[in-house]
Chain A
């Protein structure tokens, strides 16, 4: 499953202005960062899963949560081993391994990673990059050149990911076994694949640039797009709720 591709729909989330969606994802993330309660971070994750379900994105949200939990687990272990505040919780041969402060910090940080990243990742599921680009130009008056750079960077991520999968398949077909558990060996096997990926990426970027120039890229401005991106009541409601959430989180600090 490509976890960054758009999932079309007509839900409340889908119908929001792309700029609102981007702002909402960031505000939700800021709220999660400001929040200092493990229980609240869990609530934020569950709330985001509920919101995703309302837009028909629950399977995607669950898949993303699973992936983010792996990242969270990594943060958890680091925090657990390196934060030394609070009372000792686990000792071995006189050496304190885990403290209460370490455990709390590890749980909080790992859940915060999931809660913060989830809305940003789900933003890609409900927003066409073209719409985001046009809305940034029309509503925020961002020069097209910069809006294009931002959205193209996002758009190329799944392209490069599928290109990398193809390259990996080609090497597998030549007898390379990537299914090793030895991390060093895995890095050694994957590193040479950067060469074809880089070559194909440069070629793709070059041909995309030429293609854009030939279609009058330089002439595009705020008035070039026929589609309008008005802010509606729903946008105001969504933003108001999120600003309130951030304010509450800041007040509870």
Chain B
């Protein structure tokens, strides 16, 4: 789906950059980008849809060089959810907001009308709401609905749940998971929330100072404390605790698994 080939990028007048980055994300994967602030996570996400162009190397989207294609055309394949929905929302009603990207991409009126109603129902939104008067969580949901309206093949989420309460966070992530599972949409998620990464992503790319420190299965990465420490990232709490508890807790990643492992150990002790 997307391939980085020895990609470097430098911001003018700052130290922040990425250097010689190469990786490949296949169709249908759910990948998380983790790292400390300034590690290059948002830069990578913006390189994927052409908002930034590499200083060296190539970013290929389905074999197409993103630096040769306008972002507006890449938008047909790539949906992008920004951390702050207020930068994305620009229409007076939710209905118009969802139709916005379809109009920009030249869909016909009939197809737009049908798709808008479908999206409103799926996201539990009312079409006549004034978006800016809704809660932060609802605005994020409106922004996600807008990003998904054109049925992108790659969905990029830039810290999608920052500032959301638990209920809205789960709601947003459940939509994304269903989309990934049922429709094979590739997901690339930037996040600082390790619990979220562990619960939803299947593969993790670990970044530090613009370089790729690690790349692997989420369970393996969450148990690799040395790797996470060198990326200045705290691991999710349950796998970190499991690591400290040692034998019998090797395959523990969730609260349910932790409870099961403790009960098993208790039962063994009382025998």
Cβ of A199 < 8 Å from any Cβ of B? yes
Contact between B87 and A172, CB atoms less than 8 A apart: no
Q: Identify the closest chain A residue to B89 (Cβ).
A: A196
Contact for A173 among B12, B71, B90, B91, CB less than 8 A:
B71
Residues of A near B80 (CB, < 8 A) are 170, 173-174
Cβ of B105 < 8 Å from any Cβ of A? yes
Residue among A167, A173, A176 having the largest count of chain B Cβ atoms under 10 Å: A173
Cβ of A228 < 8 Å from any Cβ of B? no
Which residues 75-131 in B have Cβ within 8 Å of A in the complex? 75-76, 78, 80, 82, 86-92, 100-101, 104-105
Cβ of B43 < 8 Å from any Cβ of A? no
Contact between A174 and B51, CB atoms less than 8 A apart: no
With A170-B82, A173-B80, A174-B147 already in contact, the answer to whether A200 and B87 are too (CB < 8 A) is yes
Cβ of A175 < 8 Å from any Cβ of B? yes
Residue among A167, A170, A174 having the largest count of chain B Cβ atoms under 10 Å: A174
Complex Cα distance, B71 from A179, in Å, reads: 10
With A196-B90, A200-B87 already in contact, the answer to whether A174 and B100 are too (CB < 8 A) is yes
Contact between A200 and B86, CB atoms less than 8 A apart: yes
> Is chain A's interface secondary structure helix, strand, loop, or mixed overall?
helix
Residues of A near B100 (CB, < 8 A) are 174
Cβ of B70 < 8 Å from any Cβ of A? yes
Contact between B76 and A195, CB atoms less than 8 A apart: no
With A175-B104, A175-B150, A176-B104 already in contact, the answer to whether A170 and B87 are too (CB < 8 A) is yes
* Contact size range, B: 20 to 34
Shortest Cβ gap from A86 to chain B (Å): 46
Cβ of A213 < 8 Å from any Cβ of B? no
0 or 1 for each of B45-86: is its CB under 8 Å from A? (1 = yes)? 010010100000000000000000011110110101010001
With A166-B87, A196-B90 already in contact, the answer to whether A174 and B146 are too (CB < 8 A) is yes
Cβ of A216 < 8 Å from any Cβ of B? no
Complex Cα distance, B75 from A163, in Å, reads: 21
Cβ of B132 < 8 Å from any Cβ of A? yes
Contact between B87 and A177, CB atoms less than 8 A apart: no
Residues of B near A172 (CB, < 8 A) are 51, 71-72, 75
Contact between B89 and A175, CB atoms less than 8 A apart: no
Residues of A near B82 (CB, < 8 A) are 166, 170, 173
Residues of A near B13 (CB, < 8 A) are 1
Contact for B132 among A169, A173, A199, CB less than 8 A:
A199
0 or 1 for each of A67-104: is its CB under 8 Å from B? (1 = yes)? 00000000000000000000000000000000000000
Contact between A192 and B78, CB atoms less than 8 A apart: no
Contact between A173 and B76, CB atoms less than 8 A apart: no
Contact between B76 and A175, CB atoms less than 8 A apart: yes
Contact between A167 and B70, CB atoms less than 8 A apart: no
Closest 7 A/B residue pairs (Cβ): A175-B75, A177-B72, A175-B104, A174-B101, A173-B80, A175-B105, A172-B71
CB within 8 Å of B: which residues of A? Answer: 1, 163, 166-167, 169-179, 192-193, 195-196, 199-200, 203
CB within 8 Å of A: which residues of B? Answer: 12-13, 46, 49, 51, 70-73, 75-76, 78, 80, 82, 86-92, 100-101, 104-105, 132, 146-147, 150
